[in-house]
Amino acid sequence: MNEFEKEIISIITNAGDCRAHCYKALDYADEGEYEEAEKEMELANDALGKAHVEQTQFLVKEARGEDIKCSILFVHAQDHLMTAISEKNLIERIVELRKVVNSLLASRSIEEVKEI
């Protein structure tokens, strides 16, 4: 595997790590463990930052006139990155909504919750 491919794999791996942390955060939020959810979202942001740095390096190289090979693997990496960004943004909102739902459910009796 050459250096170009390693950089692409790094984008894919970090984007995947971002998504995994996001979904783990969502699981924690479902259980009302918001501090753990926040820690997972921080890890997601870190992984996303690493992927974004790799992507930016490609953009800078191309802006300087270097020929960047647009392979299927490169397109695949971009797809993973954009998906991770979108999912992270949505999950952040869902976690906030989950806090509201959990709070409302906690303020109701078991009979009221069963009716919902």
CATH code, 43: 1.20.58.80
E strands present in the chain: none
> What does the block give as tokens for 76?
């695949």
Provide the number of structural domains found in the chain: 1
Is 21 annotated in the active site? no
Share of the chain above pLDDT 70, in %: 93
Q: Rounded mean pLDDT of 31-50?
A: 97
Task: Point out the catalytic residue in the list 21, 52, 76, 80.
Answer: 76
Question: pLDDT at position 94, please?
Answer: 97
The mean predicted confidence, pLDDT, of the chain is 92
In this structure, which long-range contacts are made by residues 100-105, counting pairs with CB atoms below 8 Å and at least 24 apart in sequence? Answer: 102/29, 102/32
Crossing angle, helix 72-106 and helix 3-30, to 10 degrees? 10
Straight-line distance from the first to the last Cα atom of the chain, in angstroms, rounded to the nearest whole number? 55
The pTM of this model reads: 0.87
Question: pLDDT at position 108, please?
Answer: 76
Range of the domain at 18: 3-115
49 pLDDT more than 70: yes
